[in-house]
Chains A and B, each alone.
Chain A
């Protein structure tokens, strides 16, 4: 991201001797009347901050006086605020477009005001192509400017592995065209040589009929073959793309996945690859045949009777023009229908998943009304569309086929004048009809191509992503000993909103660290970093003195044991869920792990024991049961580093107590990080970490923190009071 724009006004800045220009970034909203502007810039030198508007300097601030400069996020934008002599000052405002840039500015100004001289750099990507203004894909590439070969290139790459199949299909297609074109020829002959001829005999008629029958049968066989081959090709290519996408999705960071709605990614894997399949199957395969037949058709017609041919062609331009003219309209109509359908189904989904709420609040009637309205609207739109289509389609065929009347009139006259045989006219009319059919088919080509291009773009958007978390080239397979250190670590899910700032923490091997603090303070974020689901923005994280970046990701993850607040069970049996991390675990191991997790009892009481099938999200189990299975899963792995995020939150007190005991045994000698709201859960922790306001507010043993009478003390007191109440 550019932090030093080069603008003419900079040369006019009254810089002093030894004052160096550091940054220059645009702001795009005027502070007077909050309207868009294009000539506002904020320039930062080593000593001062200038607010520029055009060539005028509107305000100047001295950096040494600016304390605690911040880029505040507002609704739909942001503003740069600083504190001078204890009073907060507004400097500039900007739209959301420049939030990130100004977050860097604030950081840069703060560094300068502390007397340091280093410059901040941004590795973040721009969102818009600097050349053409198009939105850039996530990977920072412009769909237009950065295309290496573009769509054709991608398409070629996709189909190359199947070139022999395509050759085979093309061959079948040519065969199909020849047979298709031969049929009218035979029919013409039949008319001329048998029906209209003096010496038409039964034998000749039978000969032609047999030939026609064979051709007819041939067309059927060829078509079946064609459909088979095309379907195979489409399915195979779509399968390839789908597999590649799934691979990529797994390789990409959690951040990428979280940034999108899950439905969006599912759409890309399912719907967009389906689009590719349809295109390959229906359009691509027919493309050659149609082009081939079309060409031959035109040549035949011209050769037979060029005057008649021109007459036949004459109406086609109108038909094409008419179709093209209405295409947008048709597209809009069907898109609207699709949107209405979407409304209906999302409402349905809402109500079904919220059925308990709807029923307990007695809102069935209201929901019915809402649904009825949506269903009515959809019905209205689809009725209107069907009516339109039933009118439009015959009309277009009529217009397109209008030339046939002239052909018949003129051709009929020629037959009567005996310039042309009846068979030839028949043949000609058949060819003309064929021509119209193909023209109509071809008018839908642009739309199908656009659909394909869009789908491929969306797929490529994912495929071109570079996995943000990647192993260093010389990453090592390190066996974790258990020492963890955060050094000046900062992180934010969005770069302009830091979640953790300047985290410093050194954990010894085998230590159990309890993490407490208000919700939203960054506790889960801290362990997300430790689990390497996200990469820290600034600072470093060491495992046994080795930077985490230099440890092989897979190898590292294989040694973690994780129990999260939200336990996820895969569709399958309890056994397969416990074995998830260690598929080859023996029954003894599984049972031992389940016993440790206090899960063995309830599992054995189930009718199917460990083979009990847990459906999607394990709906048939209670929260506590699911959590215990998740704990068993983590234990089975014998992890070197244990991470517990509210691992026992959904358990009743008795089970929690039992599991606490078990975990105590498990955490012996293992470095453990545990987040908990119930402080009693953390009574075994060696040290406690209080996270508040994006950083480590307090750290120490229970006794130390209580003696300190800070945040932790207040938390303990509040919980004791609550217990006292419950006991009263």
Chain B
């Protein structure tokens, strides 16, 4: 079975579907125009098509949050419209709009200070300061609530499935680090 026969058999719809599946459309300043909707979301005009509400997702949220932003059509089962490779290469307006939307879709407060960690009955109670303000939460000690993203980076998931991040454990004071020892 040669390649040609496959190509000839695959006519019309499915060929397009295959193309769509394997190619990534790169979005750049030339082919997109984002606008904020009255409802607080983002609409997009791109290559003559209009999308009433698009969703933005980070493809590498931990390793590269500012690159590879996937833009998806919310009204068509979040189908991917394209990918912004380098957010900083986009126009200032676009950057602002995308950042605003990202802040809406992502909520992972970063822990900057640990006041106390108390463990009791198999749960650990955290009292911390985050970049979203002071907060208290509890995690299940039995489950894998604390994930080491790297040697110094932690992702903590609490009982409600809220997520907290510690970017760099070594930036905390010795005392705070010792409180964390149980989870490292």
Contacts and interface: CB of A to CB of B under 8 A. Distances in A.
A360 interface: no
Given A93-B104, A135-B123, A87 B39 contact: yes
A457 interface: yes
Nearest to B161: A96
Interface stretch (A73-81, A224-232, A576-584): A73-81
Contact of A264 (B103, B138, B142): B142
Q: Which residue, A35, A84, A461, has most C-beta atoms of chain B within 10 A? A: A35
Contact of A134 (B6, B77, B123): B123
B182 A335 contact: yes
Contacts of A144: 121
A266 B159 CA distance: 21
B37 interface: yes
Contact of A336 (B37, B74, B125, B181): B181
A74 B163 CA distance: 12
A728 B136 CA distance: 64
A391 interface: no
Interface in A548-569: none
Given A89-B39, A134-B138, A454-B121, A261 B5 contact: no
A522 to B, nearest CB: 14
Contact of A74 (B5, B107, B184): B107
Interface stretch (A109-117, A529-537, A630-638, A717-725): A717-725
Given A261-B143, A457-B121, A95 B160 contact: yes
Nearest to B163: A76
Interface residues of B, number: 49
A21 B8 CA distance: 64
Q: Which residue, A75, A135, A461, has most C-beta atoms of chain B within 10 A? A: A135
Given A88-B53, A454-B121, A728 B5 contact: yes
Given A135-B123, A724-B9, A74 B40 contact: no
A87 B132 contact: no
Contact of A127 (B1, B122, B134, B159): B159
A724 B11 CA distance: 12
Interface residues of A, number: 46
Contacts of B142: 264, 267, 458
A34 interface: yes
Nearest to A75: B106
Contacts, number: 123
A721 B135 contact: no
Contacts of B159: 127-128, 135
A332 interface: yes
B122 A96 contact: no
Given A36-B134, A134-B138, A261-B144, A87 B38 contact: yes
A323 B169 CA distance: 30
Contacts of B138: 128, 134-135
Nearest to B37: A87
A335 B107 CA distance: 32
B121 A36 contact: no
B56 to A, nearest CB: 11
A618 B144 CA distance: 29
B9 A95 contact: no
Interface string A671-690: 00000000000000000000
B28 interface: no
Interface string B1-29: 10001100110001000000000000000
Contact of B107 (A95, A143, A458): A95
Interface string A686-728: 0000000100000000000000000000000010010011001
A76 B107 contact: yes
Contacts of B143: 260-261, 264
Contacts of A87: 37-39, 52
A37 B38 CA distance: 25
Interface string B118-155: 00111101000010111110101011100000000000
A29 B130 CA distance: 13
A91 B9 CA distance: 49
A97 interface: yes
A96 B138 CA distance: 13
Contacts of A261: 143-144
A339 interface: yes
B162 interface: yes
Contact of A725 (B6, B158, B182): B6
B181 to A, nearest CB: 5
Contacts of A135: 121, 123, 125, 138, 140, 159
Given A34-B103, A34-B132, A36-B135, A88 B161 contact: no
Contacts of A454: 121-122
B108 interface: yes
A432 B148 CA distance: 50
Q: Which residue, B37, B104, B143, has most C-beta atoms of chain A within 10 A? A: B104
B104 A127 contact: no
Contact of B184 (A93, A127, A339): A339
Contact of B162 (A34, A96, A143): A96
Contact of A88 (B5, B41, B184): B41
A90 interface: yes
Given A34-B107, A87-B37, A134 B181 contact: no
Contacts of B140: 135
B104 A74 contact: yes
B79 interface: no
A75 B107 contact: yes
Nearest to B61: A75
A29 B132 contact: yes
Contacts of B182: 332, 335
A424 B130 CA distance: 66
A20 B6 CA distance: 65
Contacts of A88: 37, 39, 41, 52-53, 74
8 contacts: A75-B61, A87-B39, A88-B52, A88-B53, A93-B104, A93-B107, A97-B160, A261-B144
Which 7 pairs across A and B sit closest by C-beta, in order of nearness? A89-B39, A90-B40, A97-B160, A76-B107, A77-B107, A143-B121, A96-B161
Given A135-B140, A725-B10, A728-B1, 14 more contacts: A34-B104, A36-B135, A74-B105, A75-B108, A76-B162, A81-B39, A84-B39, A95-B162, A99-B161, A134-B125, A135-B121, A332-B181, A457-B122, A725-B5
Interface of B: 1, 5-6, 9-10, 14, 37-41, 52-53, 61, 74, 77, 103-109, 120-123, 125, 130, 132-136, 138, 140, 142-144, 158-163, 178, 181-182, 184
Interface of A: 29, 34-37, 74-77, 79, 81, 84, 87-90, 93, 95-97, 99, 127-128, 133-135, 143-144, 260-261, 264, 267, 332, 335-336, 339, 454, 457-458, 461, 693, 718, 721, 724-725, 728
